[in-house]
Amino acid sequence: MTARRTDGLAVLARLKRHETENVALQMGEINRALGLIEAERQALMEQLNERGDPGAVEATRVLSDFIRNVSQTIQHKETEARRLRENSADMHNQLNDLFAEAKRIDLIRHRRAEARKRASDAAATAAQDEGFLSIWLQDGQGA
């Protein structure tokens, strides 16, 4: 196994790790955005529930406009949240795929490192055996 091939696997592993970190960061941003949307939705619902006396005739029109505006805003926020949840699910799948790829690359790197070690050990053992044989033959000829 060439050092160049091993270096290529190391680079590929680093790239997958970097890509995985980027996807995880994007998922974090989506989750933060979902949290903000939910907090805004709750605040709007509280405003809607705490609004002034709806019995006053002059307040009825203003209250009606306010309720309509809040309802539209909540609907928009829920649509945005739904889109973000879909993106989050897609990114979660992508993150799982990246983890699986990174694991396969690490497994291949580990197997190749073991194969190189076995080959190196076998070469060292063969060289040592050859040296012992050479010494044995020299000792046998000298006697």
Domain extent listing, the chain? 3-142
Instruction: Give pTM, 2 decimals.
Output: 0.54
Residue 73 banded pLDDT, cuts 50, 70, 90: confident
Contact assessment for residue 34 and residue 77, using Cβ atoms and an 8 Å cutoff = no
Per-residue confidence (pLDDT) for residue 118, from 0 to 100 = 94
pLDDT in the model for residue 51: 64
Class of domain 3-142: mainly alpha
pLDDT for residue 137 is more than 60: yes
- Res. 56 pLDDT band, cuts 50 70 90: low
Q: When comparing pLDDT for 54 and 124, which is higher?
A: 124
- Give 80-89 pLDDT, tens digit per residue: 888 888 888 8
CA dist., res. 109 & res. 3, Å (int)? 12
Neighbour-count burial of 8, counting CB atoms closer than 10 A to its CB (0-12 exposed, 13-18 middle, 19+ buried): exposed
pLDDT (tens digit per residue) in 13-47: 888 888 888 888 888 888 888 888 888 888 877 87
Instruction: Give the pair of three-digit tokens for residue 22.
Output: 């980027």
- C-alpha dihedral sign at 49, 44, 71, 75: negative
User: Which range among 24-33, 57-66, 119-128 has the greatest average pLDDT?
Assistant: 119-128
Convert 17-54 to b/e letters by CB count within 10 Å (16 or more is b): eeebeebeeebeebeeebeebeeebeebeeeeeeeeee
Whether residue 108 is predicted with pLDDT greater than 60 in this model: the reply is yes
- Give ∠ CA 47-49-54 in degrees, rounded to 5: 105
Reading the block at residue 46, the tokens are 């509280």
